[in-house]
Amino acid sequence: MKKIALVSVAVAAAAALALAGCSSDRGGSGGSTSAAGFAADSTIGIALPDKTSENWVLAGGLFTDGLKKAGFKGDVQYAPASNTVAEQQNQISSMVTNGAKVIVIGAKDGKQLGTQLQQAADAGVKVIAYDRLIENTKNVDYYVAFDNFKVGQLQGQALLDGLKKRSGHDAPWNIELFSGSPDDANAAVFFNGAMDVLKPKIDDGTLKVLSGQTAVAQTATQGWEAENAQSRMDTLLTGNYTSATLDGVLSPNDTLARAIITSITQAGKDISKITVTGQDSEVESVKSIMAGQQYSTINKDTTLLVAQTIKMIGQLQKGEKVDVNDTKQYDNGVKVVPAYLLAPVIVTKENAAEAYKNNPNLLAIVKAAS
């Protein structure tokens, strides 16, 4: 969790994009008209879930500095990882009470914020769901994220590619599947995207899941906690792979990937022949990829995501049309939330230098290992 060194460089890009007001490079014609606007130095609330991921830590720093450079008063708060969703609920209510004009929410549990978002709507506060969709409420105005179904598709394809390169044998290949926390709406989206690629191969016998656990509920990792993933992998190995060969594991993010790799190596298996996917381009996982352990990750540039969010806040402040490029996919159970989606990038050892050419921290890791 040490990507803070990027903040000073990245903030300039975030603020510049926020202030530029230029049209979206993926099409802003579907934008929605905002309210009449508000004062340029207004308070903007940023409610983030916890600091268990490097990207959440980086996002907090980027929002703090980027909002200041854009002329706003930023109120960035995290809900403690050890706490329940109640802490984030209280933080959002306080932001409304303290006069925030926009609240950006990376939801700790996107199904439990209805009361707070009604309070926001009653006060005329705009709500942007950041990275995680907020569900079962009409009072979420926009969603900004990377294309998470595409993330899953990229992970699924990376698993297939890695199996061919690393296993040392032809199909069929034995794999296991992991998904994220059931209280995170993104978890099912990642998994469904991956299964869009993998299920046909499971059905035709190219892939075999020896545990039989192929449903999102069976593969879930509560709280995105590494120890939960490692414990489940231990159980899967003991129950299914004492004599059978394990060829690959679908992991939805880097933290879980490293826990899965720990389980595999502690079981005495050769990780260089086993394909494990990931997501988030965390420092330790980039090192692992360059060392030939973890096979792949996903680069979702937090700098770009925060910059786009600040740009949307600036459009709301001016009473302008807000950029969106998807008005069909993200049904939260009550409404289809207008969304702005950014494109994720798959990263393996082969393309890491190109993928991280604009990220000095990660590029240095790649070059040191080359």
**Can you list the domains of the chain with their CATH numbers?**
3-140+301-337 (3.40.50.2300), 148-299+348-369 (3.40.50.2300)
Predicted structure pTM score: 0.79
pLDDT band at 185; cut points 50, 70, 90: confident
The pLDDT value given to residue 15: 45
Residue 213 confidence class, pLDDT cut points 50, 70, 90 = very high
Neighbours of 27 (CB within 10 A): 13
Indicate whether 311 pLDDT > 90: yes
pLDDT tops 70 at residue 29? no
What percent of the chain lies above the pLDDT cut of 90?
82
Check pLDDT > 70 for residue 307: yes
Higher-pLDDT residue of 4 and 231 is 231
Query: Which amino acid is located at 255 in the chain?
Result: T
User: Which residues have C-beta within 8 Å of that of residue 37, sequence separation ≥ 6?
Assistant: 316, 317, 318, 319, 320
Mean pLDDT (whole number) for 76-103: 91
Per-residue pLDDT at 264: 98
Q: Cβ neighbours of residue 354 under 8 Å, at least 6 residues apart? A: none
Q: What is the pLDDT of residue 83?
A: 64
User: How much is the mean pLDDT over the chain?
Assistant: 90
The reported pLDDT for the residue numbered 162 is: 98
Tell me what pLDDT residue 142 has: 98
Q: pLDDT over 70 for what percent of the chain? A: 89
Helices (H) and strands (E) in the chain, counts: 13, 14
Confidence at 79, pLDDT banded by 50, 70, 90:
confident
Q: Based on C-alpha coordinates, what's the Rg of the chain?
A: 21
CA pair distance 225, 211, nearest whole angstrom: 21
Q: Where are the alpha helices (DSSP H) in 135-278?
A: 148-166, 185-203, 216-219, 226-240, 254-266
**Residue 205: is its pLDDT beyond 60?**
yes
Is 245 a residue whose pLDDT tops 50?
A: yes
Is residue 28 pLDDT above 70, yes or no? no
pLDDT at 71: 97
Report the pLDDT value the prediction gives residue 240, as an integer from 0 to 100: 98
Q: pLDDT tier at 81 (50, 70, 90 boundaries)?
A: low
Q: Is the peptide bond before 338 cis (omega within 30 degrees of 0)?
A: no
